[in-house]
C-alpha cells in the first residue's frame, strides 16, 4: 500500500513538472506551486517556479519565495540549496 502511494505521488509530481515545462508562464506557476506544496524542498521545481515568475515580471515574489525556500532548506536539510537563479535574485 505504501509503495503504491509513493509511486502515485511520484507520478503526480512528474506529470505536474512536465505540464509546467510545456505551459505558458501563468499556468506553469500554478503547476509549480502545487509541486512545491507536495515537495517543498524540490530544487528543480523551485528553479522552474522562479524562472516563470521572472518571465512574468514578478521579481519581488520570486525573491520572497527564494528566501523562504533557502531558509527552509537550510533548517531541514542542514545545508544550503544551490539554485540556478539564486544569484539573480539576491
Residues 33-70: tens digit of each pLDDT: 999 999 999 999 999 999 999 999 999 999 999 999 99
3-class secondary structure, 42 = coil
Domains in the chain with CATH codes: 2-89 (1.25.40)
69 Cβ partners below 8 Å, 6+ apart?
40, 41, 46, 81, 83
Residues 13-26: tens digit of each pLDDT: 999 999 999 999 99
Handedness of CA 58, 60, 63, 65 (dihedral sign): negative
pTM: 0.87
Amino acid at each position: 500500500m505504501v509503495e503504491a502511494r509513493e509511486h502515485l505521488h511520484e507520478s503526480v509530481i512528474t506529470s505536474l513538472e512536465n505540464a509546467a515545462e510545456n505551459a505558458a508562464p501563468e499556468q506553469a506557476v500554478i503547476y509549480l506551486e502545487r509541486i512545491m506544496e507536495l515537495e517543498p524542498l524540490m530544487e528543480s521545481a523551485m528553479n522552474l517556479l522562479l524562472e516563470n515568475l521572472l518571465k512574468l515580471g514578478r521579481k519581488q515574489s520570486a525573491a520572497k519565495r527564494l528566501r523562504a525556500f533557502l531558509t527552509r532548506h537550510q533548517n531541514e536539510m542542514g545545508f544550503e540549496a544551490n539554485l540556478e537563479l539564486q544569484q539573480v535574485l539576491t
